[in-house]
A and B are shown apart, each in its own frame.
Chain A
Amino acid sequence: EAGVTQFPSHSVIEKGQTVTLRCDPISGHDNLYWYRRVMGKEIKFLLHFVKESKQDESGMPNNRFLAERTGGTYSTLKVQPAELEDSGVYFCASSQELAANTGELFFGEGSRLTVL
């Protein structure tokens, strides 16, 4: 069974540019989450999809971030325009049940974003 895959693994962009990160969850997982780890600090929740619907986007830092999950399959996270403080590792995770109940989150390897 394929795991959660994320693309690209590393992206280096200039401040002001746009970057789109992609996540392919495990097939059949309705729940998809985006998390971010900045500067070696804690991993912070960004948002949660149930199928194609945004269930909780309370962690999105600002309107420069746009997440989509068209058709309830893969998801994209676009940062436009990117700022220096957006640098970090963006993790995607998926699960069959809600994360807080089972903790059985399946993570991707993360997409490292460097904004210069």
Chain B
Amino acid sequence: AQTVTQSQPEMSVQEAETVTLSCTYDTSESDYYLFWYKQPPSRQMILVIRQEAYKQQNATENRFSVNFQKAAKSFSLKISDSQLGDAAMYFCAYGEETSGSRLTFGEGTQLTVNP
């Protein structure tokens, strides 16, 4: 079974600085998708960034980028120029077409942004 591990329950960063959240996963599949979701306090969880395993190029969305290391099964999220609004719980997730509907999530990393 696929598993997703986030080894950092909590992280903190100073405003305007850069922080990296770690995620590793385990799978025997070669084609799959990886995601980072963000859940601000008392708000809905939203998709931050998505990576297809067949793509070598790391995904980027404005200040958010990933470091996807397929061989190492690692998928870290880098937040540049951190803002107060980035404070949230971040979840790493895995999905594959053969299990069409189901996403496997990690335990989450609580990010605090200090002014």
Show the binding face of A for B, using Cβ within 8 Å: 3-4, 31, 33, 35, 40-45, 48, 55-56, 58-59, 91, 93, 98-109
Contacts and interface: CB of A to CB of B under 8 A. Distances in A.
B101 A109 contact: no
Nearest to B102: A45
Contacts of A41: 107
Interface of A is mostly: mixed
Contacts of A93: 45
A102 B101 contact: no
A44 B105 CA distance: 7
B68 interface: no
A71 to B, nearest CB: 20
A99 B47 CA distance: 11
A48 B102 contact: yes
